[in-house]
Chain A
């Protein structure tokens, strides 16, 4: 047996094995470090702050949990949300995230480490990303081997598609859910491979944790049964499958019903019926198998087969019948919108209005996954080559997740792990092939030539690589040859392959490919770092722009306004705003809100939409009825912040129209040419609407009475600005992003807070046109 480069032969197999496992541990810990470190951009660039919208609620809930204990949290009724309906938080929340933080917080305090709960929350997502990397390693190890596992762990550690949801401060359910997803899948695969009820039980327990943590648990609920079903249909039923699936389903389903928010759904909604059906099918098939072992009568088997089919058909029809009778809830609207992308826009505008629910744009696949997106299909194809039971799982997962990621931006998150796994399998196969020192049997002279010429160079190739592998992520591939060494030394894979006929000749061809791969990996690291630091680390509570001299300019209008509310208004002053800002107002300003990001009551949201989109005379009684003291408006026209309320305004109109089609009609808000304008040509309904009036109230005064230019819409506002009769201006933040309008019934002294220093700020921001364009670009991916 010849080798392309010399392999030390005097090392005992035990040493190689120990060294390999030590290196694996080191590599895994380095990967964890890289995964955590790359998520800290947000903290370093800004500060340790909770990001976005939903995390603010999670944070607030966690504080309640940490301060008052679990039972108070469970019974928490929040009277300040959805005023005056209130929200039963304990029963309408996935508590997994908060409980996790609460447990960590209590453990740290038990150890006399007085860590602030906010820091626990901010750093939870990076911490769990390290665990995700480990779970992915375990999962991929089951698919191929340790080297592929390490590659997959490195990929998932830094891939932007996952980082986008797990930067420090992004304290959302997904932060822990992806770890749970991967670990549940790992346990499932393990249970299936061994036929072990133990792993089935562990999978069920983690499934329970997942159910408690994220609504996306339905993905698992359908993935595992689908896998089992495909196995049965392919004739791969085995007792192992029966053991794994039955133990997982029986315990997991019962456990999932303990979560108050889920309740009886697992036995009453269509989304969960697939799992139940497969469970029943497996029982029947197992029974049939058992009978078959005892009887070999041809006739009887026919009978058995017929009865199995009959029972399956019967079960299917009874399912339809029960759905029809209303015993089983039909698919929810969100689910339909997965199949028909136009469905949500037509029937449930509130879902369609969320940018996360839009179909994914093609560039974002590349932005989030970079070169993994090319390797991904290769990995899937490689799975077909062996096609063991677990490979089938990856294939199904890949197909389903690709589809869902194409339908909804936010489901990119579920695609990312399988992309990492498949790409790692592909890449590690490639590296295995090309680093494999074994030379194929060929003409003797060619081989000896190659041997003699490149032997001296040979040993330097991996060492060069090792140097480059300083970056933790890239260190993974360097394990490739080592594991091969192990394989060679332990003699399992390649020992007996002295006379193989296919393979790679020489070191140069090896070098070209391996160096190419290394280059791609390095470029991947650069790309991930760049995307993470530029696109995914903005807290969106604090905006950043660049001054003309290159220094960073922080736009902190949101917090300015929220703290103004907190300090200047009575504790029970009700604030009305569009639902996007509900959680932030509750979290930062601590004031009751009408609607928030937990969009459970469409009518209430439509009421706010109606108030915003109708004239003052119509809106005022609505405001009075809901005891509104302040109206909060986000306006980006001055600095070019594109995520403002005027741009969301059409959604308010649409949602209001869904409930009051007589009073609010979307076409009225367009010009006669069908354009959405805010300048002189805007329709009268548009100009009369509360939102328009509040946004452009006294806007012209900033421009010395000349018509001002809205920098988002790039239009001039009308010469005489709108006037307000029922509302008054109380506060406008520095860059005009946030304005507050108290309704006049509120008898506090009138606050006019547009500090004079703003004018200078406005001018300076007007001078730096391009900066704000770039800023809004950076903000875009989050909206």
Chain B
């Protein structure tokens, strides 16, 4: 409902009063060539209306720096200067990777030209076709050039990110073949009948050559992705967009051959929402562990204790700009690990308490330093990881049963020996006294 309204508002170009905020900050640096800045005015306005503070910078400007003294200057960076070959000193593939380490989110637009950014793409397991080979599709038949492709999202695309799958998204740019990196989040795939080729239909030799070299086959079909997300292990997000025109005013207002309005504006909004950590953002608020029937955590547990583990998970609500308890995860697991998981069990949500997940299990009969590990990684969602170390110790010396019924014959033996000893000693001493009394002479001799 809300999404529909927002799309409408954007589509008619009205200033929206509704704002959605990111969970990591509102400052955005936009690196864009000055001559093209106006082409994306609707996109920028939309960002501003949501409450983002945009800072524009030309690719060759020295200032403002993207990071200074190992501190990122902006929460998000949008690199729309896809054609630029020479950036200022501080924008290099390496510095962008560093930015990701500082948890800055990136939107990076690619083009058919070879630029520093396209050289960076392979580091993210994106395999680009050789320069000058955009995505081409002759279907559906239309007036537009073959390199401007309408793509209607299908089920294979990231439906949890794309809010409106009914409208075509007009795309012009390079497709990406995807490597096997599990951190990739393909957002929008190319249509099945599309392929990468030179526009004028000239010789395809170069393409075939590089395809053979790459070993990935031709860049063709729905395996290709045109917009691809990537989430680092630290949780920073980067989205690779095959062509910068996706964000342009022209394509946002375009009406398709069958009369459908363009979905570009909404799609751009979705990309921003995901990349800037508005949607699909989870976090573990806290974890607890304690023995059954106790409330506070213990510094250490004994083998075979019954343990309770609780995790509290929140989801970011961009509308309110706040974190809300989230009980929607049904496939989370808890591992109890020492070198290898000794116990792996489901960590189901507790229905009565929103956001709480709880499990009770018995500690293994093995002492050592164990970890409660929650490791929840799903494509598109922020990764949940928590590891709490706790020692499991053997029972204390008085923790074992001391007197066993099985041992009573031995107890009897030991006690009878002691009693016999006392009796013997008493009799012996008595005998000595008697003897010395009776026969003083003999006792005297014994002395």
Give chain A nearest CB distance to B322 CB in angstroms: 27
Shortest beta-carbon distance from B425 to chain A in Å:
14
Tell me which residues from 382 to 398 in chain B have a Cβ below 8 Å from any Cβ of chain A: 389, 391, 393-394, 396-397
Partner of B367, one of A77, A625, A626: A77
CB of B94, distance to nearest CB on chain A (Å): 15
Q: Are B391 and A77 in contact (CB under 8 A)?
A: yes
Report which of A86, A625, A749 forms a contact with B391, defined as CB distance below 8 A: A86
In whole angstroms, what is the CA distance A86 to B396 when docked?
A: 15
Mask: chain A, 82-114; 1 = CB below 8 Å from B; 0 = not? 011110101000000000000000000000000
A84-B368, A85-B369 given; A572·B394 CB < 8 A? no
Q: Which of B300, B371, B394 contacts A88 (CB 8 A)?
A: B394
A626:B391 contact, CB within 8 angstroms: no
Q: Report how many A-B pairs have Cβ atoms within 8 Å.
A: 39
Are A85 and B368 in contact, with the CB atoms below 8 A? Answer: yes
Q: Is there contact, CB below 8 Å, between A75 and B397?
A: yes
Check if B446 is an interface residue, CB within 8 A of chain A: no
* Chain B residue at smallest Cβ distance from A260: B397
Among the listed B70, B368, B371, B397, which residue makes an inter-chain contact with A86, where contact means beta carbons less than 8 Å apart?
A: B368
Q: Which residues of B contact A79 (CB under 8 A)?
A: 300, 369, 391, 393
CB distance from B410 to the nearest CB of A (A): 13
Chain B residues, Cβ within 8 Å of A749? 70
Report the Cα distance A625→B397, complex, angstroms: 32
The interface residues of chain B lying within 8 Å CB-to-CB of A626 are 339
Interface string of B388-422 (1 = CB under 8 A from A): 01010110110000000000000000000000000
- Which label, helix, strand, loop or mixed, suits the secondary structure of the A interface? loop
| Cβ 8 A contact of B300, one of A74, A77, A83, A85 | A77
Q: How far is the CA of A83 from the CA of B391 in the complex (A)?
A: 10
Indicate if A752 sits at the interface (CB-CB under 8 A).
Answer: no
Contact of B397 among A74, A84, A572, A747 (CB under 8 A): A74
Contacts of B274 in A (CB 8 A): none
Nearest A-chain residue to B366, judged by Cβ: A85
The yes or no answer to A783 lying at the interface (CB within 8 A) is no
Find chain A residues with CB under 8 A from B338 CB. 84-85
B 56-76 contacts with A by CB, 8 A = 70
Given known A77-B300, A79-B300, A625-B339, contact A84–B370 (CB-CB < 8 A): yes
Could you tell me the distance between the alpha carbons of A474 and B384 in the complex, rounded to whole angstroms?
76
The residues of B that contact A84 with a CB separation of less than 8 Å are 338-339, 368-371
Chain A residue numbers with a CB within 8 Å of B300 are 77, 79
Residues in B neighbouring A86, C-beta threshold 8 A = 367-369, 391, 393
Residues in A whose Cβ lies below 8 Å from that of B393: 75, 77, 79, 86, 88
How far does the Cβ of B388 sit from chain A's closest Cβ, in whole Å?
A: 11
Q: A residues 587-639 with Cβ under 8 Å of B? A: 592, 625-626
**What per-residue 1/0 map shows which CB atoms of A728-757 lie under 8 Å from chain B?**
000000000000000000010100000000
User: Using Cβ atoms and an 8 Å threshold, which residues of chain A touch B391?
Assistant: 77, 79, 86
Q: Which of B347-369 contact A (CB under 8 A)?
A: 367-369
Which B residues are in CB contact (< 8 Å) with A572?
Answer: 389
CB closest residue in chain B, given A750 = B70
Return the chain A residue nearest B369 by Cβ. Answer: A84
Q: Which residues of the partner chain A approach B368 to less than 8 Å between Cβ atoms?
A: 84-86
Q: Is the CB of A71 within 8 A of B397?
A: yes
CB atoms of A88 and B397 under 8 A apart: no
- State how many angstroms separate the Cβ of A574 from the closest Cβ of chain B: 10
Shortest Cβ gap from B230 to chain A (Å) = 19
* Most B CB within 10 A of own CB, among A71, A86, A90: A86
Please give, as numbers and ranges, the residues of chain A lying within 8 Å of B396 by CB-CB distance: 75
Question: Which residues of chain A in 26-79 are interfacial with respect to chain B, using CB atoms and an 8 Å cutoff?
Answer: 71, 74-75, 77, 79
B424 shortest CB reach to chain A, Å:
15
Residue on B nearest A75 in the bound complex, by CB: B396
Distance to closest chain B CB from A83 (angstroms): 6
A74 to B300, CA, bound (A): 16
Task: Give chain A residues whose Cβ lies under 8 Å from the Cβ of B371.
Answer: 84
Residue of B70, B369, B393, B397 with most partner-chain A CB within 10 A: B369
Q: Which of B114-170 contact A (CB under 8 A)?
A: none
- Residues of chain A within 8 A of B234, CB atoms compared: 747
Instruction: Tell me the residues in window 439-490 of chain A with beta carbons closer than 8 Å to chain B beta carbons.
Output: none
Min Cβ gap B366→A in Å is 9
Q: How far is the CA of A10 from the CA of B157 in the complex (A)?
A: 120
Chain B residues with CB below 8 A from A625, complex form: 339
Interface positions, chain B 61-98, Cβ under 8 Å from A, are: 70
Chain A: minimal CB distance from B226 (Å): 33
Kindly supply a per-residue 1/0 record for chain B positions 334-345, scoring 1 wherever the CB is within 8 Å of any chain A CB and 0 otherwise. 000011000000
Shortest beta-carbon distance, B183 to chain A, in Å? 15
Closest residue on chain A to residue B392 by CB atoms: A86
Q: A85 contacts which chain B residues (CB < 8 A)?
A: 338, 368-369
Once the chains bind, are A77 and B339 in contact (CB under 8 Å)?
no
Report the separation of the CA atoms of residues A77 and B368 in the bound assembly, to the nearest whole angstrom. 9
Residues of A contacting B369 with CB < 8 Å?
79, 83-86, 592
CB distance from A23 to the nearest CB of B (A): 36
Whether B394 and A77, one on each chain, are in contact in the complex, defined by CB atoms closer than 8 angstroms, is yes
Central interface residue in A75, A592, A749, by most chain B CB within 10 Å:
A75
Interface string of B26-52 (1 = CB under 8 A from A): 000000000000000000000000000
The complex places the Cα of A71 from the Cα of B397 at a distance, in Å, of 8
A88 to B303, CA, bound (A): 13
A83: chain B residues within 8 A (beta carbon): 369
A85 to B234, CA, bound (A): 29
| Residues in chain A near residue B394, CB distance under 8 A | 77, 88
Distance (Å) between the CB of B310 and the closest chain A CB? Answer: 22
A–B Cβ pairs within 8 angstroms, 21 of them: A77-B394, A79-B300, A79-B369, A79-B391, A83-B369, A84-B339, A84-B368, A84-B369, A84-B371, A85-B338, A86-B367, A86-B369, A86-B391, A86-B393, A88-B367, A572-B389, A592-B369, A625-B339, A626-B339, A747-B234, A749-B70
Residues of B participating in the A interface, judged by any CB pair closer than 8 Å: 70, 234, 300, 338-339, 367-371, 389, 391, 393-394, 396-397
3 shortest A-B CB distances, which residue pairs? Answer: A79-B391, A77-B393, A84-B369
Sample of 18 more A-B contacts, CB < 8 Å, known A71-B397, A88-B367, A592-B369: A75-B393, A77-B391, A77-B393, A79-B300, A79-B369, A79-B393, A83-B369, A84-B339, A84-B371, A86-B367, A86-B391, A86-B393, A88-B393, A88-B394, A572-B389, A626-B339, A747-B234, A749-B70
